[in-house]
Structure 1
């Protein structure tokens, strides 16, 4: 194993939080040391000075840079430890951060910029004072200007790097919501940092060179000046392009993710979520999208629950027109299915078995009713009330409701013989609407057809097919009427007049 592999193995064996602290500290300290070396190279070989560069000057300034290395390392690691400690605290505890900790996390790039700027201001004073004491004030001024420009670039780069390194922590921290007092940075700020790093500093160097030539009474050689202009222009062209691309990617990547997530929602997939990691307005967009998606999921759950309680037609009508208490007279059909011997069923079986059987019974009822254009108005213990033609009209209502009753009777006897049920069918004018109060209401149907269907379900228990319908429905049922036969009129419980009934042709009166 090579030394490089050994170092990598030991690094990966460290805890994640420690690795993150090491990466951020090393990255930012490296930026500053690289900036110092770039300053040395520019002054020594690019920007003309009002004194002749001698080996002694180079040696003295290089030794000064080396002497500042250890303090720079200590300052950098101390700053990063101070900034990262609140973040590492909640990460180590494996808990959600508080709003204050979220705000601190998002402020780390700004504080990183401030600490770097302070360090470079100190460097401006140290190098200017050192060279002013050894040479002239003009030399000290030029060196101070170059160091300041390098400090602007290094501080801007530190901001961008810190923001990038903390993106993973930000996505975890903001997963539970964006803090209310979040101070949002703009995309313009990020872009200006990239511009200052890649373009403004080299161009400012060209300005310094031009100012130096304008104030130089001794004249300047063409070749050194040309070399200086070419190098600074190349830096502005290359570094400026790279940094603008990085800043653009920092904006375009989350925007592309947002576009893909929106397309996912448009396709009907409401499970789309975005990681929230950006401290600019884009972060608010990411958080806003997640809140919107959660609201859509909640709305879909409510709509599904609404549909299950009142039926799709009623739910859509309510969503279109709002909730209005009261009712109206409408023509509709009623199917009432009532379990026979539910008391015995409850006493002879375990409660869990009873619930399972009733659930299976209701499952078959719902399947058949929906297949024939009806909807379930309510479950009443061991009975179900289904409605046709209300609130929306149904073509060939009589044929649909009779076909549903016939199929339901056959399926219950075939698939669930241990839960016999009587099925009654009736139709006519009834009142349909919302009853209750504004805070708690129910859409229901009230009228003689409802009572009649319930009573006919009791009569149905006397026939093998256990399905009985008001015979009047056959007159408008078309071909469906051929599956039914008339029986003698009966007087159902609680009704004064006899009702003409019909049963499915396969059924006969019991002895």
Structure 2
């Protein structure tokens, strides 16, 4: 029994061999050389088959046929090589120059497997006609020429099919570069279905047709010998195995990579790279997944930017319900925080340093507010309006707002860069989108917002730097233990007294 580790290593090495795909300046010459080797293997196979099915043991005509075939190969293979290189000279040109191909050059590169298979098929067709005619003239039974020609033609068809699959595999690097410059647009090269039919013809149709022709051959009424049938069956197994392996990798490897890419995208990794290396349906699928990943990445970037500008809860609500004017009545806790002495501060620091200071200050505010489940509704110069209970419901808006106020004051005092005042109030407000159909802004409007802003002015002169209305403290439950009653004042613009509470120090 082969150890599991050894077997896995062997499979990885075999996979590496099948993954070989040159893409540099030597790509086309190496691929053409690969085609020549495949043709020579096909020639050797057909030669061995013909030696086993000659005319009842008569060998007088073998030598002329073999000499004609040898002479034809010496002439045809160099010419076919030159024809292949000439056909793909545009591909060689942009590979050598290390530049991006033009649309016409990319299209020519994508035809590389088909072009080489057609050239190989043409060479075999002419060769079949030549050896068939020579065999008909040299063997005592002229029908042997038909047998030789048909056998050569079938061998050539199988060889041309293998050439296509080999070149399609070996040219994957060139295909990738061509499709990277000009992605597939819907016009398909040889797709999955034609490739499956091609493999079927190589593994089943051609060998079985060869066996049938051996038995119905009128020039050999006794039927073929055992050696010929066994040899043809072995060749069918070998060619079929090679063709199936090549096709399985051509279809399976991209699908495996696509599955992994889709799984990564599903896990949130929108930077998952998808290489388009197929000009058929699989290539369209690869391009589609790449476009999907790019679109999701762009959407996530916009979502992130949207959330940074309006707040994550507002962004989530807008994405779920759409953007429209209107809103709803909600009971919320409003927190307003403002820097004390900001005018003199900006004169001392300068605008550039002041911006950095504000960013550090707002980072403290955002962290404290979001930690308590609130929303920073807007930044207003050196101040910020924060809301608990809108746009999404909150289990304890008053308590969360008061805790956030204490956290902000403690963090600002620890930083020592600025001095602030924090005001907290609660009550019913209108919460929703205001503006126009082309420019919307989420906001809350109501007396608690105005009250919190007025309390902020009082807080700047309080040692604890935070002042709350009695209503919000009474509704805060256990958080009220951190606050004590203070003066009753009439806030500007309200026309009625407001009982205030301040932090216990």
Q: Same fold (TM over 0.5)?
A: yes
Pairing partner for 1:182 from 184, 187, 193:
187
Whole-Å separation in 2 of the counterparts to 1:96 and 1:441:
45
Using the size of structure 2 for normalisation, the TM-score is 0.89
Whole-Å separation in 1 of the counterparts to 2:374 and 2:487:
28
**Alignment partner, residue 450 of structure 2:** 451
Matches within 5 A, 1:134-145: 134-135=138-139, 137-145=142-150
Q: Does 1:486 align with 2:485?
A: yes
Shift of 1:398: 0.8
Shift in alpha-carbon separation, 1:433–1:398, aligned structure 2, 3 A: same
**Alignment partner, residue 59 of structure 2:** 53
Matches within 5 A, 1:177-326: 178-212=183-217, 215-216=218-219, 219-220=221-222, 225-326=225-326
Shift of 1:329: 2.0
Whole-Å separation in 2 of the counterparts to 1:179 and 1:237:
35
SS in 1 for 2:26: helix
- Whether contact under 8 Å (1:309, 1:377) holds in the other structure is no
SS in 2 for 1:332: strand
Whole-Å separation in 2 of the counterparts to 1:94 and 1:336:
61
- Whether contact under 8 Å (2:23, 2:95) holds in the other structure is no
SS in 2 for 1:230: helix
Shift of 1:60: 2.7
Q: Does 1:440 align with 2:445?
A: no
Q: RMSD of the alignment, in Å? A: 2.4
Shift of 1:300: 1.8
CA deviations 1:326-367 (Å, max 9, x no partner) are 122221111111122333333322544222211111111110
Whole-Å separation in 2 of the counterparts to 1:242 and 1:120:
20
Whole-Å separation in 1 of the counterparts to 2:187 and 2:340:
64
- More moved, 386-395 vs 117-126: 117-126
Shift of 1:480: 1.0
- More moved, 438-447 vs 74-83: 74-83
- Whether contact under 8 Å (1:426, 1:452) holds in the other structure is yes
Shift in alpha-carbon separation, 1:382–1:232, aligned structure 2, 3 A: same
SS in 1 for 2:25: helix
Pairing partner for 1:40 from 30, 44, 47:
47
- Whether contact under 8 Å (2:32, 2:84) holds in the other structure is yes
**Alignment partner, residue 29 of structure 2:** 22
**Alignment partner, residue 328 of structure 2:** 328
- Whether contact under 8 Å (1:113, 1:156) holds in the other structure is yes
Using the size of structure 1 for normalisation, the TM-score is 0.88
Matches within 5 A, 1:366-381: 366-381=366-381
SS in 2 for 1:323: coil
- Whether contact under 8 Å (1:152, 1:196) holds in the other structure is no
SS in 1 for 2:495: coil
- Whether contact under 8 Å (1:331, 1:429) holds in the other structure is yes
Total equivalences in the alignment: 483
**Alignment partner, residue 397 of structure 2:** 397
Whole-Å separation in 1 of the counterparts to 2:490 and 2:87:
87
SS in 2 for 1:75: helix
- Whether contact under 8 Å (2:364, 2:408) holds in the other structure is yes
CA deviations 1:63-94 (Å, max 9, x no partner) are 33332334333333323323433333333444
SS in 1 for 2:202: helix
Shift in alpha-carbon separation, 1:272–1:16, aligned structure 2, 3 A: closer
**Alignment partner, residue 125 of structure 1:** 129
